[in-house]
Amino acid sequence: MHSLIDESDDKRDHMRNEVQIYYDLFFENLKDGDLKLPCAPCYGNLKPSRGHSRKQGDGCGRGKTEEEEEEEEEEEEEEEEEEQEQEQEQEEQEQEEQEQEEQEQEEEEQEREEEEQEEQEQKENEEKEITQWRHPMQF
């Protein structure tokens, strides 16, 4: 029974602290002339004021307006598009390099085959010369 009382006291203290933080920030904002209320995720699960985000802010304790959220989302989308473009360019460049390497390998193989064929032809020609030279001698 005693633990239930302690637990309810802890919950009450926790809520009191959350509300106190909320009001402190509200009055601090009033002094600064800024009437933005802190967002819910920044300082407990209190309902955010109208026109403010349910997302956590940048740590300043003030909520972001819908316009600020839209601007931030647009910036994030632009960054993602730029990253995708860079990745695509990098993939294209890697593909071009790979194709170039394959082409170089094919050219090297062709050169080797041509050299082997030339060597083979040269050997055959030498053998023909030798046999041609010997052949008349056999008679």
Q: Where are the domains of the chain?
A: 1-64, 77-139
Confidence grade of residue 18 (pLDDT, cut at 50, 70, 90): confident
Q: Which of 41, 45, 81 is nearest to 62 (CA)?
A: 41
- Position 61 pLDDT exceeds 50: no
Torsions phi, psi for 64 (to 5 deg): -100, 140
Q: Which residue has the tokens 């316009």?
A: 67
- Position 53 pLDDT exceeds 60: no
List all residues 6 or more positions away from 122 whose beta carbon is below 8 Å from its beta carbon: none
- Higher per-residue confidence, 5 vs 99: 99
- Position 59 pLDDT exceeds 50: no
Instruction: State residue 85's pLDDT score.
Output: 96
- Higher per-residue confidence, 122 vs 12: 122
60-72 in b/e form (b: 16+ CB < 10 A) is ebbbbeeeeeeee
- Position 13 pLDDT exceeds 60: yes
Task: Kindly give the residue spans of alpha helices, DSSP state H, lying in the chain.
Answer: 2-32, 66-138
Please answer whether residues 86 and 60 qualify as being in contact, where contact means their C-beta atoms are separated by less than 8 angstroms: no
- Higher per-residue confidence, 136 vs 6: 6
77, with CB counted inside 10 A (0-12, 13-18, 19+), is: exposed
- Higher per-residue confidence, 49 vs 96: 96
- Higher per-residue confidence, 131 vs 2: 131
